[in-house]
Amino acid sequence: FGAGVARLAAQRGAADPHDHILLAASAAMSEPVVEPIADASAAPAAPSGEEPKKARGKPKDPNAPPKPKNAFQRVTGEARAKIKAEKPELAMDLKGMAMALKEVWEATPQEEKDKMTAEYEKEMEIWRPKWAAYKATPGYKEFFELKQDWIDGRTKKKLIKKFAKEAPKRPKSGYMIFAGEIRERVADEVAKAGGGMGDIGKKISEEWSALSEAKKAEYGLQSARSKEVYDVEFAKYRLTDSFREFMDEKAKLESKQQQKKLMRTKLADAPKKPPGAFALFRAEVMPSITAETKGLSTGDLAKKVSALWKDVPEDKKATYQKAADEYKAVYDKQMLEFRRNKSYTAFLKERMKVKQRENKLLNLRDAPKKPKSVFALYAERHKTEVQPGKGAGKGTSALKDKFSQATQEEKEELERRQKELKEKYAEEVRSFKESERYKNFEKTEAAVRREAQTAAMKVMTIKFLNAAPPAPPKSPFAVFVHEKRKAVEAPEGEKKSKEAKREEVVGFTKEWEKLDKPSKAAYETTYKEKLTEWEKEVKTFMAQDIWKEYLAEAKEFKVPVKNLLAQKAAALKQLSGGAGMPTRPEAMPSRPPDAYKVFCQEMSAEMEGNSDKLLNTWEGMSVEAKAKYFTEAGKLMEQYEKDLNEFKNTEEGRNYYRDVGKVLRLRKVKNAKKLYLKDMPKAPLSAFKVFVAKTVEELKKAQPDLKGFQARKQADERWKNMTDEEKQPLLEDARVKWDEYQAKMKEFKQSAEFTKFTRAKLVSAPPAKPTGAPVKPLDAFKAFAKEMKGLGKTPEELRKAFEELPEEDKVERKRKAKELEEKYSEEVSAFHKTPEWKKYKQQQQLHQKRSNIALAKSKFCAAAPKKPSTAQHMWAVENRSVIAKEHPDLKGLAVLAKAGEMWRALSQEEKAPWLEKEKAAQEEYQKAKEEYEATDEYKAYMKVVNRYNRRPKAKAKGKGSAKSKAKAAKAGPKPPEEPADMPKRPPISPVGLFLKLNKDKGYNLKTGNEAWVQLGAEGQKEYVDKLRELQREYDAAFKQFQKSPEGKKYLRLKNAYEKKAKEQKAREKFLSGEAMPPEPKRPQGAYFLFVGDKRESVAKDLGGAKFGDVAKKLTELWGQLSPEDKKVYEDKAAGLKKEYDEAMEAYRSSEGYKKFNKAMQSINKKPKAKAKPAPKAKAAGRAGRGAGRGRGGAGAGRGAPAAADSDSDSDAMGSDSSSSSSSDGDSD
């Protein structure tokens, strides 16, 4: 019990001034506390090999030059030992000892006192320079901090003592209760023996050690009872205003002391503030004043110096002031240099942390406490059931083991309780955030951050931005003002006041307004030139290391980056490889002027650049007069578009627009992420990361000087040394959190926001409109607005100007606009018939299809199983580190390439285990894939895919799977594999042969063609002749191949494949699409109608029998059925067959089927095969089932119009001729 309470108090530290009370009960079962000794200097030295005891009382500096003793100290120091020997009882009576020493001092003759005082003064004259020199040493600074810490501690103790008067009295420990009972007796015994106060404590400690455990337990029980009463009283006291006031005062005092300590330690090397004019005067006159007026107090000396300063003449004061200014200039320069150091930056960070801590202690002390975890609730309930302590089987470790074996019911009950506590906590937090305390906290927090950021920005400006290029003029007007001021230079040394500068700018503004448009345009050009030049300089500056250091420090202080560029964000992104727009190429043509600007360029000289006159003239011109300028502007625009198209076709243009497209896509995705993924759940940390974060925090608390990387390294080592059992709770917790995250993500992915984000991310840009497409003309008003472009008029002003036009002018404009609209309609109708438009529409449809399928895949296929790795990849991953170690010169993909070589060199026995792993992974993947394909998500995805593919559904035949056959139908027929001995066709051109023979030179298509041209006719002739020879050899070899059995088989299969491919293409072209009605579904026969009715009841009667047994039983029942009962099913089948025949007749009459029939006749290129006469019994047996329903069926189903020859070579060779090979599977 005592050890547990002591640990609790140690964990809480100095957070509560009354936490020392927690030690009251612990002392009852712990080691005795020795009574304090009277004199810290008299503390006994620690035995050799043991750590020395911590010194008590005011610290003393052993390295300081010893200060001489004055007369009183000399007399009383010699007398103290004599008095102790003559009167031992005074050793424990401090007041009596002081009175005895006073009597000795008063009895000392005055002559002796004066003599000792004179000696003291002489010694002090020697000691003072030594003391002044010592104060400049590092040793004194260390001692001063130690002493100041002791003073701060005393100040804090005084504050605690002040408020402790109203607090409940701390209960005594068992040891202190025992000591109180025997102290008087022990004091008498020690006094008789001539001992001191320290001996009393030792004696009590010895008697406590000799006490029996049972007796100690009695004292401990007394202390514990007192502690229970105290806890209740102290809990009430914590709610009083006195306690709150104490905590506030304590937080403020600690913050003040820490800030002063930071200033003493972090700013120790800062330059000292320079003296002012008065301080320089005082330093000059002070020696003479102190010599004349010995014994004058400090206050009187200050008054004397102040009076003398008043009598100093003004010219003399000016001399002092000039000297002070010089000192100040030196100080400012030194201070700038000091602020560049990391110590000042560290001071700013630490000061901000101290102020933030004070703010939290003052304003968040009453904030709601977070509820305990499920394990903490369980530990609170069962902590008395385990042995206290640390290690396996004790304390927390034992509770964890016990918790892992707890019943599920108890865990669920604790989870419900925790949920209630969390809900209560959330409500308390909401209520607290509305309080004045929290609002004051946020206000103070913002002020603290603002103060730190302001100071940091000043420091970073000194360190980094002073080296940046000076900013350019902010506007063309600023360029104008600069030139005006430069023309009228002020006399040297004269500074204008703010009012004078303001009046000057007002005058410049009036002059600027009188300038004509060309003059302003000239200043605009100058402004742009200066801005462009400045941007180049800044980009160069921002590419240097100094800018990277600045960005890192700005990020550390969380301050905004200085706006060096007008397009700061773009420049930063460009430098960091982000989404900045690419630089506009110099070869890219510039947009030409509009009609009004063309007019201004022509008439500017004639009208002396008068902007108003130019504008009035333009507005007064008729449409016919303006036509000249519109024609010229149109020609310039046509030339611009032509140049732009040529630029787009150049390599530089293609690269530029490709880069622009990338940037726009990145921006689109980034904006969509900000807009739609604000509420997306955050992925939880892994068990390892959670452990490292927690361990690093604990290590930094225990060792504040530990660096971050060192703490992470230690945490990593601890994790590696943990057993699987120790890791299990962390891994389990991480797994639970991950499952919760996955569930939230699954729910979030079904939301509209995620769908919008996916659409923005996956949907690519639509295809560009084809060149040569008609451009829609402008209506009357828009054409008029285009004429007025460049005049700076608003849409409302343009609308009003259009309405004020003469009626004839408006009618003429509308007539021309209507003519252009009609002409546009005709051009559009004609253009829609061109191949370019059809190709564009196909691209549009393909883009829509790909976009929607990609969206469906991202939405529904998130849980789809991933394809397993191959055996080679598994082996490469396992051995990559070994390969990299053996071949250190290989990097990246080169390691994988080497792994591929080594894999191919392995024997079959060495590959066998990995191939088995691959096989097992494939089987597991296939199983997961089948399970996934049965889910609603996959069905929803396939629904979207089928909607765009518009392929007919595969029909189940026999025991085959409809899904697999639909997949096979979608994939289409596969071409036969080429035999190994089939001759290889040579390249089709000499250039191809040249590239093939020289592929080791790394030619691409462009460089290869250039090299081919450089060969010339003589060099090319070699490859032309060689190609002819290769072609002759190929022709001869292929003729031999055609005669071989393998060649005949391959060519037969190839012809069959090409025929089937053409047939499938015809089906997709003519038998699919919205205009084509669906093919009627073939009805079932009488037997299958009977099976459909009876299958469920028969399967139930047989009790889980196999499918074959059920089918056999149904066949027996059908055979036992009476003719009357069979007739019911036969009549029903005949009715369905009649409906089917009528539907098939209508289907075959459709336009698409007719086109398909015609295409099939062209593909077959042979007359319709005659059907072989069939036996009547067989024909009758098949009559109830209708005609063949496969693709090769005779005149039925979705097959060809003519019957396929079932005895074809392809079938004889065992090829997969068509999906109609088992057309009767359903009906048999």
Which tens digit of pLDDT belongs to each residue from 37-74?
A: 333 333 344 444 445 555 667 888 888 889 898 988 88
Count of CB atoms situated within 10 Å of the CB of 341: 15
Query: Average pLDDT in the 1105-1114 region?
Result: 77
* pLDDT score for 670: 84
More confident residue, 704 or 309: 309
What is the C-alpha R_g of the chain? Answer: 50
* pLDDT score for 1050: 84
Q: Coil, strand or helix: which one is 173? A: coil
* pLDDT score for 354: 92
State the maximum Cα–Cα separation within the chain, in Å, rounded to a whole number: 161
Phi first, then psi: what are they for 582, rounded to 5°? -65, 155
Tokens, residue 938: 């996959």
* pLDDT score for 790: 52
Q: What is the DSSP letter of 109?
A: -
Does residue 676 contact residue 754 with C-beta atoms inside 8 Å? yes
* pLDDT score for 972: 60
* pLDDT score for 52: 53
Query: What are the tens digits of pLDDT across the range 252-289?
Result: 998 998 888 888 888 888 888 899 988 998 888 888 88
Q: At residue 133, does pLDDT exceed 80?
A: yes
Please report which confidence band the pLDDT of residue 791 belongs to, taking 50, 70 and 90 as the band edges: low
Query: Average pLDDT in the 2-11 region?
Result: 36
Query: Average pLDDT in the 1034-1055 region?
Result: 86
Q: At residue 1104, does pLDDT exceed 70?
A: no
Q: What is the DSSP letter of 1166?
A: S
> DSSP secondary structure string, 595-631?
HHHHHHHHHTTTTTT-HHHHHHHHHHS-HHHHHHHHH
Q: At residue 466, does pLDDT exceed 60?
A: yes
* pLDDT score for 1002: 64
What is the share, in percent, of the chain residues with pLDDT greater than 90? 2
Phi first, then psi: what are they for 407, rounded to 5°? -70, 155
* pLDDT score for 1174: 46
The number of helix segments (H) and strand segments (E) in the chain equals 49, 0
Q: Where are the alpha helices (DSSP H) in 906-1004?
A: 908-933, 936-949, 962-971, 990-997
Sign of the Cα pseudo-torsion (33, 35, 39, 44, in order): negative
Q: At residue 906, does pLDDT exceed 80?
A: yes
Q: What is the DSSP letter of 941?
A: H
Does residue 517 contact residue 467 with C-beta atoms inside 8 Å? no
CA 797 to the chain's CA centroid: 49
Burial of 456 (0-12, 13-18, 19+ CB in 10 A): buried
* pLDDT score for 1177: 40
More confident residue, 1062 or 1105: 1062
Please report which confidence band the pLDDT of residue 789 belongs to, taking 50, 70 and 90 as the band edges: low
* pLDDT score for 23: 33
Q: What is the 3-state secondary structure (H, E, C) of 1018-1082?
A: HHHHHHHHHHHHHHHHHHHHHHHHHHCHHHHHHHHHHHHHHHHHHHHHHHHHHCCCCCCCCCCCC
Does residue 954 contact residue 969 with C-beta atoms inside 8 Å? yes
Q: At residue 386, does pLDDT exceed 60?
A: yes
* pLDDT score for 55: 61
Does residue 970 contact residue 1064 with C-beta atoms inside 8 Å? no
Nearest-angstrom CA–CA distance, 1170 and 443: 97
Mean per-residue pLDDT of the chain: 78
Closest CA to 596 of 629, 623, 554, 628: 629
Please report which confidence band the pLDDT of residue 208 belongs to, taking 50, 70 and 90 as the band edges: very high
The pTM assigned to this predicted structure is 0.42
Closest CA to 365 of 269, 502, 243, 504: 243
Please report which confidence band the pLDDT of residue 92 belongs to, taking 50, 70 and 90 as the band edges: confident
Ramachandran sector of residue 608 (left: φ over 0; alpha: ψ -120 to 50; beta: rest) = left
Q: At residue 1198, does pLDDT exceed 50?
A: no
Q: Coil, strand or helix: which one is 1193? A: coil
- Looking at this protein, which amino acid is placed at residue 1213? M
Mean pLDDT highest for which of 886-900, 954-968, 1096-1110? Answer: 886-900
Tally the C-alpha atoms within 13 A of residue 58's C-alpha that lie toward its C-beta: 3
Q: Where are the alpha helices (DSSP H) in 434-497?
A: 436-463, 476-487
Query: Average pLDDT in the 965-988 region?
Result: 71
Query: Average pLDDT in the 122-145 region?
Result: 86
Burial of 153 (0-12, 13-18, 19+ CB in 10 A): exposed
Does residue 677 contact residue 757 with C-beta atoms inside 8 Å? yes
Please report which confidence band the pLDDT of residue 490 belongs to, taking 50, 70 and 90 as the band edges: low
Does residue 1200 contact residue 1063 with C-beta atoms inside 8 Å? yes
Tokens, residue 30: 């712990």
Query: What are the tens digits of pLDDT across the range 1002-1018?
Result: 677 777 787 888 888 88
Count of CB atoms situated within 10 Å of the CB of 1091: 19
* pLDDT score for 1171: 47
Measure Cα distances from 695 to 11, 689, 701 in Å. Answer: 16, 10, 10
Q: Which residues contact 17 (CB under 8 A, 6 or more apart)?
A: 159, 160, 163, 164, 246, 250
Q: At residue 645, does pLDDT exceed 80?
A: yes
Rounded to 10°, the helix 908-933/936-949 angle is 90
Closest CA to 869 of 917, 937, 829: 917
More confident residue, 938 or 707: 938
Please report which confidence band the pLDDT of residue 611 belongs to, taking 50, 70 and 90 as the band edges: low
* pLDDT score for 195: 76
Q: At residue 316, does pLDDT exceed 70?
A: yes
* pLDDT score for 176: 92
Tally the C-alpha atoms within 13 A of residue 1002's C-alpha that lie toward its C-beta: 0
Virtual torsion, Cα 903, 906, 912, 917, nearest 10 deg? -20
Virtual torsion, Cα 166, 168, 170, 172, nearest 10 deg? 130
Nearest-angstrom CA–CA distance, 586 and 326: 54
Nearest-angstrom CA–CA distance, 1195 and 525: 82
CA 1216 to the chain's CA centroid: 54
Q: At residue 351, does pLDDT exceed 60?
A: yes
Query: Average pLDDT in the 419-426 region?
Result: 90
Nearest-angstrom CA–CA distance, 367 and 895: 57
* pLDDT score for 36: 34
Please report which confidence band the pLDDT of residue 191 belongs to, taking 50, 70 and 90 as the band edges: confident
Tokens, residue 1153: 């089927």
Sign of the Cα pseudo-torsion (131, 136, 137, 139, in order): positive
Sign of the Cα pseudo-torsion (782, 786, 791, 792, in order): positive
Tokens, residue 63: 């390295």
